[in-house]
A and B are shown apart, each in its own frame.
Chain A
Amino acid sequence: EVQLLESGGGLVQPGGSLRLSCAASGFTFSSYAMTWVRQAPGKGLEWVSAISSGGGSTYYADSVKGRFTISRDNSKNTLFLQLNSLRAEDTAVYYCAKDKGAAGANWFDPWGQGTLVTVSS
């Protein structure tokens, strides 16, 4: 069974940093692209970032470009999202999700349960 478990969320002050992790199991992690999607409280889904299976290609939403960095450690079956220069509008549940293929050109299935990031002073 494919499982994705996010961690690393919490309360951080504006301008601060956090590193989110997503531990994957139940599939060959190194063969699949991965993505992060966030959801602000009471709002819809917003795609944040994606990374190809080998890590050589990365993609970002304009709203996070230059502040967030996606990466992965295929030896540890773990996906990361480094969040810097955080703003109040970054407050959201952050989900990691598995892409159907290696290049990140597909749909997302399954999703983890999410980790909450709250940016507030």
Chain B
Amino acid sequence: EIVMTQSPATLSVSPGERATLSCRASQSVSSSLAWYQQKPGQAPRLLIYGASTRATGIPARFSGSGSGTEFTLTISSLQSEDFAVYYCQQYNNWPRTFGQGTKVGIK
């Protein structure tokens, strides 16, 4: 099983600032990496797939990068609606696995 490790676990950011979230895979997943956003009481929402392609309707302030074992999700200028938990997920191997999540909170 591929273990996905996200860092940091918690990130405190002021509105308008940049947030950088990391995700590391225990072995290469190529570019088969997705990012999801989850707000309290809601289902997860797809943000990024293929490591760097924004899903439909996702604002340009969200960007993804990386390949192999190291990935990054960047939120260029945090808006109030971006405070949430973010998960990475690999879909290169079975079983599919998620990172433990990064909670982005208001500083």
- Contact: A108 with B43, CB < 8 Å? no
**Chain B residue contacts of A27, Cβ below 8 A:** none
Q: Are A45 and B44 also in contact (CB < 8 A) when A61-B95, A107-B49 are?
A: yes
CA distance A62 to B98 in the complex (A): 14
Instruction: Tell whether A113 is near chain B: CB-to-CB under 8 Å.
Output: yes
- Contact: B49 with A111, CB < 8 Å? no
CA distance A105 to B91 in the complex (A): 6
Instruction: Tell whether B46 is near chain A: CB-to-CB under 8 Å.
Output: yes
Instruction: Tell whether B55 is near chain A: CB-to-CB under 8 Å.
Output: yes
Q: Mark B75-92, 1 if CB is under 8 A from A, else 0.
A: 000000000000101010
- Contact: B96 with A35, CB < 8 Å? yes
Q: Mark B42-82, 1 if CB is under 8 A from A, else 0.
A: 01111001000001000000000000000000000000000
- Contact: A95 with B44, CB < 8 Å? yes
Instruction: Tell whether B100 is near chain A: CB-to-CB under 8 Å.
Output: yes
Chain B contributes a number of interface residues (CB within 8 A of A) equal to 21
The 6 closest A-B pairs by CB, nearest first: A109-B46, A107-B34, A111-B43, A47-B96, A107-B49, A45-B98
Chain A residue nearest in CB terms to B49: A107
Instruction: Tell whether A82 is near chain B: CB-to-CB under 8 Å.
Output: no
**Chain B residue contacts of A37, Cβ below 8 A:** 44, 98
